[in-house]
Amino acid sequence: MHPDRIPRARRRELLALAALLPAAARAQPARKAAAPPPPLPAAPPESIGLSAPRLAQVTEVLAAAVTEGRINGAVLGLARHGKLGWLQAVGFRDAAQSERLRPDAIFPLGAITRPLASVAAMVLVERGRLKLTDPLSAHLPDFRDMRVATETGFERARRPITMHDLLRHTAGFTDARRYPGTPVAQLYVEAGLQAPDKTLAEAVAALARLPLLHQPGVLWDDSIATDVLARVVELAAGQPFDRVLAREVTTPWRMADTGFAVAARDEARRARPRADPLTGTLPQPPDSAAPVRIGGSTGLFGTAGDLLRFGQAMLAGGILDGARVLGLGSVALMTSDHLGQIPHDSASGQYLLGEGRGYGLGFPVRLGAGVNAMPGSPGDYDGAGSDGSQFLVDPARELVAVLMVNQANQFDHLFRLFRTLVYQTLAR
């Protein structure tokens, strides 16, 4: 039938239906690959209390960072009340800047590996295979008699390291790659403790022979404790850590792109860094092949969508789309402060936590309103990777936010900027 002969009312119906179809389905004659489904049910930003003009302003800030040479690209995602209000990419995927970045790009997660590893450990706690009060030596006997470095030599550890210490980073370990300069960090380097060709079992066995930097339980200090935790998880579950994490966490919550390697079919989605504008040096991103060393401190890759799903599952009390990984009580325990009177005035604590923040079981936690210079709500919690990606969960505002970046030399700038970008988008 000729278009002119279609009744006017029916023609309006057809036009309205066409407007609902994805742009790729309407495009002629070329056919593009369908966009991936949204990670959470989508909603107009204003309907969930986000300001569309403010979201556009955030996009402008990130686009300016691309223009200024700070980053190659970024993906920002925000969800409220379980609905996805914003998922946008700016910039480029490849170092040559010939390909635009897409929202489903794959990024290195760095230390965001730690909260996921902590969830996997808590699954075993719930099943009675581990207890937070267990001494580490009950699972790894080599840690029975630990020494602590002092200015004049060594002293015996005053109490055992516990599983609780591993999860809240009060075990007394350090991280030689992030925090070099101490004699203990130098011992880590000499022992090849964090070498990529050393298995997790080999690395943890070598760690047990080295002294602690601090007495257990006396100071919060960012460290490789989550690697030790991952080794305990392996032994308790009877499987390599990456399989435990996939079976217990990422598969149930349908985080399909999260893992310790990037599949060959997905290499074209992998976000690459740009050269440092000051030095001209191109940062070397992690190898996309499965590494020899698979632990709990770093190494995962993932997408903004997957990280939004993780945050939403935690916000909902351990369940997403009917798949319960943790009980509500366990999530509440993990996202409460576990430091109390334990100070966090180490260099890493002053930088990563600061005033007004504590630490739970795998997550920094905000203690109250104000005090900390970065925006937030009492009880919010977050995670950040050294390449720049970050996530935030704010139960008081039913908010989940993620920023995905692959630019290690911009971590400090992005770490301080992320929360400001997120909270200024709130309209109610």
| 300-302 and 154-156 beta bridge pairing | unpaired
Q: Are residues 259 and 390 in the same domain?
A: yes
Looking up residue 86, the CATH number of its domain turns out to be: 3.40.710.10
User: pLDDT category, 43, cuts 50, 70, 90?
Assistant: very high
pLDDT digits (tens, 9 = 90+) for 181-233: 899 999 999 999 888 889 999 999 999 999 999 999 999 999 999 999 999 99
- Read off the tokens for 332: 């509440």
What is the count of structural domains for the chain? 2
Which of these three, 176, 208, 235, is where a domain ends? 235
Q: Are residues 267 and 190 in the same domain?
A: no
Mark whether 279 and 411 lie in a shared domain. Answer: yes
Structure tokens of 33?
């690959």
For residues 58 and 409, what is the distance between their CA atoms, to the nearest angstrom? 21
CB 173 within 8 A of CB 228: yes
Distance in angstroms (rounded) separating the CA atoms of residues 317 and 326: 7
Query: Is the domain of 206 the same as that of 148?
Result: yes
The number of beta carbons lying within 10 Å of the beta carbon of residue 165 is 23
For residue 11, pLDDT over 50 is answered with no
Model pLDDT, residue 293: 85
Tell me, yes or no, whether 241 lies in a domain.
Answer: no
What is the pLDDT, as a whole number, of residue 279? 74
**CATH number, position 222:** 1.20.58
Q: State pLDDT tens for residues 344-360.
A: 999 999 999 999 999 99
Residue 101 shares a structural domain with residue 128: no
Does 55 reside within a domain? Answer: yes
Write down the pLDDT at residue 15: 37
Give tens-digit pLDDT for 67-87: 999 999 999 999 999 999 999
Q: Do 281 and 375 belong together in one domain?
A: yes
Q: Are residues 223 and 359 in the same domain?
A: no
Residue 189, domain extent: 120-235
352: Cα within 13 Å, side-chain hemisphere: 25
Same domain, yes or no: 279 and 390? yes
